[in-house]
Chain A
């Protein structure tokens, strides 16, 4: 599905990605983990084409994404911080995004219902709380049926019920055979849903494999400690 070869990215003098090689096959949930500033978001944005790499090739389904935009039709993306044009209403925003991807069928009714967003439809995005914005964000992401779903910190600001709904939603998408890429700080959430994790540290892939592999490698009984041990050993 995704092939990344020797990906480098610098912001000014700050080298964020230092040669990433990564292949992700179709189907399954992949968690991209790492401490702050390790390059998770940059990696994801590179796949989306929002960040232009200095070096390296990213291929999606065998085709390079460089200077092309049509491939984004196959990606649903949930940005980390839900920034929306403030003076649009929720309804207008959904309508606009649907209009931009008019070649796809959208499943917005079901999702609005799922997250109980009906009372907010005619409100301006400026006036919504962080959690509600995140729900709108989720609706926008999941309403299209794309084979690749990228979620950057999807749990931010969600109440417990919505959190459960989200997990159900992700599992359902996985059942359809989709590839799902997630970054998250909530370890329990990652452990619960991901099939495979990719651990980034200082712009490089430090570990790749299943959670069980990780536990074995670090000789730690639980996931959270395994991660912590990986961090401390690398800093030692």
Chain B
């Protein structure tokens, strides 16, 4: 698997898109920091980027890479390589190169800005770690969709739909159920609903770490109490890991059964 990972990774590292992605983050970081000059504000803008754009890019790149590397895959299938290694290797290749573009692209301007001497270093690291997790999660989901759909157009469509659901529609349903059931105690419900969607979970984790947490008022206090404890922190990390592990398991499972 490591060999496949290596080839996928280098293949992507040389592709134009990785550079575009990397340069985008580099530029974003520079613009945010050196034109705005306000670190905590930059971190907030970055949060918006990370919870919306990172999943979208992960999804699109995942699907695109899968369909584009069909030849590579077929070549590998005839070689003495384990099937699941091929797909897991490719998946990790994409996910890791995307995460690296994100971390280095955003990290460089912040390092030059002097993040290491700033109190925001932990918020910033949290931001990057959640970004990496979201990349892993959405790339894996994209691979599952691509494996399930031979048709490229269909695959793309479902992938975009998935992103739309996670990033937008889910919150719509969430909001409506909160308003609809407003007479009932909603703390547990909102806690669970937040934990079940990786986008929301990341958003709330970042919000709570940032100073905005006070805005969340009483609800925020409940969340702060939950996520502030070791239990909450471990549980939310665990959920993110599960969100990576489940689709990864599906990749492996589906890869075993697929004909080429």
Binding site for B on A (CB under 8 A): 11, 45, 48-52, 67, 69-73, 75, 77, 79, 83-88, 96-97, 99-101
Main secondary structure of the interface of B (DSSP, over half): helix
Closest 7 interchain pairs by CB? A83-B71, A72-B80, A85-B72, A77-B78, A73-B80, A51-B259, A50-B260
Residue pair A72, B79 in contact (C-beta under 8 Å): yes
How far, in whole Å, are A132 and B15 apart by their CA atoms in the complex?
24
- Complex interface: chain B residues within 8 A of A70 (CB): 80
Specify which of A49, A70, A83, A96 lies most central, judged by the most chain B CB atoms within 10 Å of its CB. Answer: A96
Report if B75 contacts A (CB, 8 A). yes
How far, in whole Å, are A72 and B86 apart by their CA atoms in the complex?
14
Residue pair A100, B71 in contact (C-beta under 8 Å): no
Q: 10 extra interchain contacts, Cβ-Cβ under 8 A, other than A52-B256, A79-B78, A88-B11?
A: A49-B83, A52-B257, A52-B258, A69-B82, A75-B78, A84-B71, A84-B72, A87-B11, A97-B75, A99-B3
Other-chain contact of B78, A50, A67, A86 (Cβ < 8 Å)? A50
Q: What residue of chain B has the Cβ atom nearest to residue A46's Cβ? A: B259
**What does the 1/0 interface line of B125-142 toward A look like (CB < 8 Å)?**
000000000000000000
Residue pair A45, B260 in contact (C-beta under 8 Å): yes
Other-chain contact of A51, B11, B14, B260 (Cβ < 8 Å)? B260
Least CB distance from A87 to B in Å reads 7
Residue pair A69, B80 in contact (C-beta under 8 Å): yes
Q: What residue of chain A has the Cβ atom nearest to residue B79's Cβ? A: A100
Report if B49 contacts A (CB, 8 A). no
Specify which of B15, B79, B82 lies most central, judged by the most chain A CB atoms within 10 Å of its CB. Answer: B79
Least CB distance from B179 to A in Å reads 45
Q: What residue of chain B has the Cβ atom nearest to residue A10's Cβ? A: B259
Least CB distance from B165 to A in Å reads 28
Residue pair B83, A69 in contact (C-beta under 8 Å): yes
Residue pair A85, B71 in contact (C-beta under 8 Å): yes
Residue pair B14, A87 in contact (C-beta under 8 Å): yes
